[in-house]
């Protein structure tokens, strides 16, 4: 099972980006999918998460500016980033709780990270 993230880049403050992440491999089901980020000198933090039923959760710092969504048919999760600020600069990682075919338990999987840089 692999998670492949894409969509990062350089954007000016106030701009927008859309991150995508798709899971592939021998997948039976995916529970929670989410996005984390790690800024310079900071610890990795949860940005947003979404359940298979579509319930969402956001960090206070991004509420109203970032929107998480998913496409269960494509095993994909997206993060729309609007009104970006320099403090949003970070490597963004997607995460998914995946149950593989033939497995009884779920495991956490991580994408490779995609860099978002917001210039002032």
pLDDT band at 90 (very low <50, low <70, confident <90, very high): very high
Distance CA 84, CA 53 (A): 28
Distance CA 91, CA 103 (A): 31
8 Å CB contact between 77 and 35: yes
HSE at residue 10, side-chain half, CA atoms within 13 A, is 2
Partners of 46 in the beta sheet?
A: 36
The pLDDT tens digits for 45-74 are 999 999 999 999 999 999 999 999 999 999
8 Å CB contact between 47 and 59: yes
pLDDT band at 101 (very low <50, low <70, confident <90, very high): very high
């Amino acid at each position: 099972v692999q998670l492949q993230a894409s969509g990062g880049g350089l954007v000016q403050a106030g701009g927008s980006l859309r991150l995508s992440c798709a899971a592939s491999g021998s997948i039976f089901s995916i529970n929670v999918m989410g996005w984390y980020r790690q800024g310079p000198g900071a610890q990795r933090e949860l940005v947003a998460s979404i359940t298979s039923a579509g319930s969402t959760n956001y960090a206070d710092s991004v509420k109203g500016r970032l929107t998480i969504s998913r496409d269960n048919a494509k095993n994909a999760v997206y993060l729309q980033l609007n009104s970006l600020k320099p403090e949003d600069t970070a490597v963004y990682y997607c995460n998914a709780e995946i149950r593989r075919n033939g497995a009884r338990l779920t495991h956490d999987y991580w994408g490779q990270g995609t860099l978002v840089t917001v210039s002032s």
